Amino acid sequence: MRKFPREYIEEMWGEIQDGMARVYVLQPLMHKSTRMEICYSADDLDYEFGGNDGKMMLLGTIHTHPNAWCVPSVCDIETAIKDGEICYGILSLFTWKHRKFTALGFWGRNGNPLQTFIGEKFDTRAGKPSRRNPQ
């Protein structure tokens, strides 16, 4: 909490495949923030970052909620709709009974919670991603 007392935000880059948003890259986004809110301009969203290979697209943003619940605020939902975010994430950082906790969740632009999977199919024997198509 000492390192992130204010809200912090990054862009989420990836692709939509088989109806699922796959996040590959988190990239910092210029912003000003307080403990309760983030201010950034949609003009600061870098729509070009993942455009070079034609595969990644800007899916949305992920931001922190210092000492707050891991649920979108009314402002989060309004901003997601206004900026055309496909999905967005919230990382809650909080201290309870002298212990630090985190919670992570993802939402659709209307504030509906999304199922979240983290990882890739790996061949654990070789320590490399599996050659089989993960389905």
- Interatomic CA distance for residues 35 and 8, integer angstroms: 9
**Sheet strands (E) in 29-135:** 32-33, 38-39, 57-66, 87-96, 99-108, 122-123, 128-129
* Shortest distance in whole angstroms from residue 38 CB to Zn ion: 7
Closer residue to Zn ion in complex, CB, 27/73:
73
- Interatomic CA distance for residues 131 and 123, integer angstroms: 8
* Shortest distance in whole angstroms from residue 123 CB to Zn ion: 38
Closer residue to Zn ion in complex, CB, 11/76:
76
Closer residue to Zn ion in complex, CB, 49/111:
111
CB atoms within 10 A of CB 66: 19
* Shortest distance in whole angstroms from residue 4 CB to Zn ion: 13
The tokens describing 133, both together, are 């198509």
- Interatomic CA distance for residues 97 and 11, integer angstroms: 32
- According to CB under 5 A, which residues from 34 to 73 bind Zn ion? 73
Is residue 85 a contact point for Zn ion (CB under 5 A)? no
Looking at 18-26, 50-58, 75-83, 98-106, which segment touches Zn ion (CB under 5 A)?
75-83
* Shortest distance in whole angstroms from residue 76 CB to Zn ion: 4
Is residue 76 a contact point for Zn ion (CB under 5 A)? yes
Dihedral (CA of 56, 20, 64, 112) sign: positive
User: Which residues of this protein are in contact with Zn ion, per CB under 5 A?
Assistant: 73, 76
